[in-house]
Amino acid sequence: MKINIQQQNTNFGAYHIANCNDLRIYKIVDKQDLNYIRELPKKIKMKELMPNLSEQEYSRWQEMLEYAVDNAIQAGNTTYLGVNGNKPCGIITFFKDKITELDCICTWPVEYGKKVKLAGQTLFYQMFSDFLKINGKKIKLEAITNGPYDTVRKYENLGFKQFETLPTKVKMEVTAPKVKNTVNKLSQKLDYEVVEAEKINLFKELKY
């Protein structure tokens, strides 16, 4: 599936570029909207959103969000925000190149105890689509092994393979042919629709 985005002027704010199931996808391109991203760790409290996790698991999940935000504001990274209703529910940030590096993906509920369905897969789909547009060769990531969920297994379900194990994380990668196969499978599951890129101000349009 091709994604056609208008030529973007970074003076105009984030771009609403796609809808997928109950989500809207925004591409972060403006400094003002990066300020919105910077506020996420202060506003999103995992302990108040998901029950029955240990203190360590809550802490690690919050650290993942902070890490995602830190990388989102790095020059050269591509960042997308997933939104459910009028609240953010996920962020993905990566360095897009022939060898694409996923820096972080983090999703969270917008209602207590209720995960947003397909939020993570939708953000991955967006990254995969960007990767295929530039004829990328490989995507690499580091999956944490001391967080609240089994991220290694989730990434394996998206086609990633392990190639190095470290104390608290596993290095994984996926090649372009496998990405194409995964995108085809996700296309059957996700009601993904490209929309005409609309410039918005996140502070005005969204809540936390």
At residue 14, the pLDDT reads 92
Nearest to 180 by CA among 141, 121, 142, 133: 133
Q: What is the pLDDT of residue 68?
A: 96
DSSP 124-143: HHHHHHHHHHTT--EEEEEE
CATH architecture of 14-192: 3-Layer(aba) Sandwich (3.40)
Residue 198 has what pLDDT? Answer: 87
Please report, in tens digits, the pLDDT of each residue of the chain (208 residues total): 433 433 344 444 699 999 999 999 999 998 888 999 999 999 999 999 999 999 999 999 999 999 999 999 888 999 999 999 999 999 999 999 999 999 999 999 999 999 999 999 999 999 999 999 999 999 999 999 988 889 999 999 999 999 999 999 999 999 999 999 999 999 999 999 999 998 999 999 999 9
- Of 133, 127, 68, nearest to 103 (Cα)? 68
21 and 118 in contact (C-beta within 8 Å)?
yes
Position 152 scores a pLDDT of: 96
Distance CA 91, CA 2 (A): 21
> What pLDDT, on the 0 to 100 scale, is given for residue 31?
84
Cβ pair 78, 130 in contact under 8 A: yes
Q: What is the DSSP letter of 175?
A: E
Collapsed DSSP state (helix, strand, coil) of residue 61:
helix
Helix (H) or strand (E) holding 171: strand 169-175
What pTM value is reported for the model?
0.92
Structure tokens at 184: 């085809």
- The per-residue pLDDT for 205 is 92
